[in-house]
Amino acid sequence: MSKVGVLGIDFGTTNTNAAWVDRKGQLHLVPVSEKSYCMPSVVWYRSRDKYVVGATARQQIVDDPLNTVWGIKRFIGRRYKSSFVQRNHERMSCEMCELPTGSCGVKIHGQVIPATEVVCHIIQRILELANAAAGAEFGECVLTAPAHFGYAARRALRTAAEMAGLEVRGIINEPTAAALYCAKRRGIEQTILIYDLGGGTFDLSLCAIRGQLVTVLGTGGDAFLGGNDFDAQIAQRLASRFEAEHKVELRSNKVVMQRLTFAAENAKIALAQQEEVQLHAPFVAQRDGQPVDFDYTLTRDALETMTSNLIEGTLGLCEDLLHDVGMTPQQVDELVFVGGQTRMLALQRRLAAAFRTDPGRNMNPEMGVAVGAAILGRGLDLPGGPELADVVSLPINAMLPGGDTREVIPQNTGVPAVRRTVFERKTPPGLPMVIALVESSDARSVDREMLGTLRIEPGWLDQHAGQLELELRIGQDYDLTASIVAADGNRLALEVTAPKL
């Protein structure tokens, strides 16, 4: 066991938090400043090799957007040419680009930086703060990931943490981590729905809590819906009204829209406590050679109207998840809110009405996930610690020779799991057989992502006639292994080779 403990890290799209449970069982939150435990997941590069992480970097989103990276979590582990990235990379203030491996990077000061390196900088900084708070160095961590994070994204997140000098003891779904926190705090039997709406992703997990055992019954959500999208939609609506009034076009100006989005975020936060707020952004345009400022009084009612479609969209996804697992809202004992966006009053009212239950009020929306990861980290080395039964977030399919595609591991399969599929060989004699493994889902989450390929050499194929059986094993930590089994029972372990994109 680590002398200082296992650090629980919630690497978020907007903010990163961390916590740990010491050897005496005492919980500690990692302070980022005197007033906050949340570190903005933003990196500002003064040069290729000199950078700042956190609140200071966040200010540069407006002042130096081309060299400031935020929201990178949405792109880590993804292929640059995937339709997901191509649809959304323009939302970034900096320039995104393709690495030789085919994955995503950013172009900063004329040089390319891999997405995993950016994430590494963020994890390094929260680790530095944790080491200072603990008075010792952490060597191990438990990471959290969105429930809809795919295999490749989890692998990339692990790589980033290892680059930061940490051994990764586990990767846990963010809403599941929140459920662990609930189980630790209450230790009662109930069915809860974790509604996790953070800065960049929306995750749902339906969990059964039985004492210290958390069983995930199903997951859902949207990998590209979060508080950032609320901010962007508010900014778009405000820009449209400004254009109609002043006859000046704003929405094509990326820097101006970033400033408006920044102002919209601050206004949204303020409106959780007050009825109206004044937005001001100087010199957003020119008209007849004169500067034009943006001034607008935004009310809470107007904010709720501007974003009602997003709130209703999350409710639809809740209904989909319950339908998939054969349950009704009335069978949910408690609705637990996680993520800063859930502080929005209209959202709380709408969900409370739909589920006829008051959302859990005694868990910090921003810190619950990091605390859950810390609880799991402590329990890994202790008998009788918290138990977890998680599920596969995205179905894993095999693309077989001849064009046949099989779903091998369905979504919401409990992990660890072993699943098999039998198929006919369609490769000509003397040629290798290549099987592609992909994660796929519908339009509610993410596009198909290539996990890797399996190669079976012709010599082995020639020795074993008849049908073949593909066996996939996925572990508690989402590690994926594969084997091929011949009709005569001979088994061949296969390496999942990362795709050369």
Q: What is the pLDDT of residues 348-392, one digit of tens each?
A: 999 999 998 777 655 678 888 999 999 999 888 776 666 677 788
Give CA angle at 387 (339, 165), nearest 5°.
65
What is the side-by-side strand order in the sheet with 104-108? 95-98, 104-108, 111-114
The CATH number assigned to the domain holding 371 equals 3.30.420.40
Residue 375 and residue 261 in one domain: no
User: Residue 272: what residue type?
Assistant: A
pLDDT at site 283: 87
- How far apart CA 291 and CA 289 sit, in angstroms, is 7
Total count of residues recorded for the chain: 501
Residue 292 and residue 373 in one domain: no
Structure tokens belonging to residue 437: 């493994």
Residue finishing a domain among 333, 353, 387: 387
Q: Which domain holds residue 141?
A: 7-185+361-387
444 pLDDT above the threshold of 50: no
Structure tokens belonging to residue 453: 């390929």
Is 214 a domain residue?
Answer: no
pLDDT at site 1: 47
Please report where in the chains the tokens 């779904």 appear, as a residue: 173
Is 291 a domain residue?
Answer: yes
- How far apart CA 474 and CA 293 sit, in angstroms, is 55
- How far apart CA 44 and CA 50 sit, in angstroms, is 9
The CATH number assigned to the domain holding 234 equals 3.90.640.10
445 pLDDT above the threshold of 80: no
Residue finishing a domain among 351, 369, 387: 387
Report the candidate in 426, 400, 404 with the shortest Cα–Cα distance to residue 482.
400
- Mean pLDDT, the chain, as a whole number? 88
Is 314 a domain residue?
Answer: no
Residue 413 and residue 380 in one domain: no
Q: How confident is the model at residue 120 (pLDDT cuts 50, 70, 90)?
A: very high
Q: Which helix (H) or strand (E) holds 52?
A: strand 51-53
pLDDT at site 316: 95
Report the candidate in 141, 11, 153 with the shortest Cα–Cα distance to residue 478.
153
110 pLDDT above the threshold of 50: yes
Is 321 a domain residue?
Answer: no
Number of domains in the chain: 3
- What share of the chain in percent tops pLDDT 70? 94
Is 56 a domain residue?
Answer: yes
In tens, the pLDDT along 218-276 reads: 888 887 789 989 999 999 999 999 999 888 888 888 888 888 988 899 999 999 899 99
- How far apart CA 191 and CA 371 sit, in angstroms, is 20
Residue 40 and residue 158 in one domain: yes
Q: Give the pLDDT mean for 432-447.
A: 68
Residue 123 and residue 36 in one domain: yes
- How far apart CA 14 and CA 71 sit, in angstroms, is 7
Contact 61, 70 (CB under 8 A): yes
Higher-pLDDT residue of 154, 449: 154
pLDDT at site 287: 82
Report the candidate in 313, 278, 318 with the shortest Cα–Cα distance to residue 298.
278
Is 327 a domain residue?
Answer: no
Cis peptide, bond prior to residue 416, ω within 30 of zero: yes
- How far apart CA 124 and CA 118 sit, in angstroms, is 10
User: Residue 413: what residue type?
Assistant: T
pLDDT at site 332: 93
Report the candidate in 224, 218, 178 with the shortest Cα–Cα distance to residue 201.
224
- How far apart CA 291 and CA 222 sit, in angstroms, is 40
Cross-strand pairs, 360: none
Exposure class string for 365-376: b at 16+ Cβ within 10 A, else e: bbbbbbbbbbbb
pLDDT at site 87: 82
- How far apart CA 148 and CA 447 sit, in angstroms, is 11
497 pLDDT above the threshold of 50: yes
Please report where in the chains the tokens 């709380």 appear, as a residue: 348
Is 309 a domain residue?
Answer: no
Upper half-sphere CA count for residue 199 (Cβ side, 13 Å): 22
Distance set, CA 266 to CA 199, 240, 273, 278 (Å): 13, 19, 12, 10
Contact 76, 160 (CB under 8 A): yes
Q: Which value, in Å, is the radius of gyration of the alpha carbons in the chain?
A: 24
Residue 175 and residue 269 in one domain: no
Contact 241, 248 (CB under 8 A): no
Contact 241, 213 (CB under 8 A): no
Residue finishing a domain among 282, 304, 326: 304
End-to-end, the C-alpha distance of the chain in Å comes to 40
Is 199 a domain residue?
Answer: no
Residue 374 and residue 418 in one domain: no
Q: Please, which residues have CB within 8 angstroms of residue 135's CB and are 6 or more apart in sequence?
A: none
Residue 160 and residue 246 in one domain: no
Q: How confident is the model at residue 443 (pLDDT cuts 50, 70, 90)?
A: very low
User: What is the number of helices (H) and of strands (E) in the chain?
Assistant: 11, 27
Residue 297 and residue 412 in one domain: no
Q: Please, which residues have CB within 8 angstroms of residue 266's CB and are 6 or more apart in sequence?
A: none
Residue 373 and residue 401 in one domain: no
The CATH number assigned to the domain holding 463 equals 2.60.34.10
* Region of residue 249 (phi > 0: left; psi between -120 and 50: alpha; otherwise: beta): beta
pLDDT at site 323: 93
- How far apart CA 335 and CA 348 sit, in angstroms, is 10
pLDDT at site 446: 43
- How far apart CA 453 and CA 468 sit, in angstroms, is 17
pLDDT at site 181: 86
- How far apart CA 376 and CA 35 sit, in angstroms, is 26
Kindly state the DSSP code that residue 330 receives in the 8-state scheme: G
500 pLDDT above the threshold of 60: no
Residue 370 and residue 291 in one domain: no
Residue 285 and residue 150 in one domain: no
Contact 313, 207 (CB under 8 A): no
Contact 390, 172 (CB under 8 A): yes
Say how many C-beta atoms besides its own lie within 10 A of residue 81's C-beta: 13
